[in-house]
Amino acid sequence: MSKLVGIIGAMDIEVDGLIDAMTDKDERVYSNIRFVKGKICGKDAVVAKCGIGKVFAAMCAQTMILEYQPDIIINSGVAGTLTTGLSVMDAAIAEKVVQHDMDTSAIGDPKGLISGINKIYIDCDKRVAELLKEASCAVGLKTVSGTLASGDQFVADKEKKQFIALSFGAIDCEMEGGAIGQVCYVNNVPFGVVRIISDGDGAGMDYATFTKQAAENSIKTVKKFFEIYN
Binding mask 106-145 for ligand ADE (x = CB under 6 A): ----------------------------------------
Q: Which of residues 185-224 bind ligand ADE (CB under 6 A)?
A: 198-199, 207
Q: 40 or 179: whose CB is closer to ligand ADE?
A: 179
- Are 229 and 43 in contact by the 8 Å Cβ rule? The answer is yes
- Distance in Å, CB of 3 to ligand ADE, minimum: 28
Q: Which of residues 52-81 bind ligand ADE (CB under 6 A)?
A: 78-80
Q: Would residue 157 show up in a list of annotated catalytic residues for this protein? A: no
- Distance in Å, CB of 200 to ligand ADE, minimum: 9
Rounded Cα–Cα distance for residues 217 and 210 (Å): 11
If binding means CB under 6 A, how many residues of this protein chain bind ligand ADE?
11
Q: Looking at 154, 167, 186, 187, which residue binds ligand ADE (CB under 6 A)?
A: 154
- Are 212 and 89 in contact by the 8 Å Cβ rule? The answer is no
Task: Provide the residue count of the chain.
Answer: 230
Q: Would residue 174 show up in a list of annotated catalytic residues for this protein? A: no
Distances 99 to 89, 143, 166 between C-alpha atoms, Å: 23, 22, 14
> Does residue 50 belong to the site contacting ligand ADE (CB under 6 A)?
no
- In the complex, which residue's CB is closest to ligand ADE? 80
- Distance in Å, CB of 211 to ligand ADE, minimum: 7
Q: Which of residues 165-184 bind ligand ADE (CB under 6 A)?
A: 173-175
Rounded Cα–Cα distance for residues 63 and 67 (Å): 6
Task: Single out the catalytic residue among 12, 14, 44, 130.
Answer: 14
Using DSSP bridges, classify how beta strands 23-30 and 5-9 pair: parallel, antiparallel or unpaired: unpaired
Task: Single out the catalytic residue among 90, 176, 199, 206.
Answer: 199
Kindly list the residues in this chain that would bind ligand ADE in the complex (CB under 6 A): 78-80, 154-155, 173-175, 198-199, 207
Q: Which active-site residues does the annotation give?
A: 14, 199
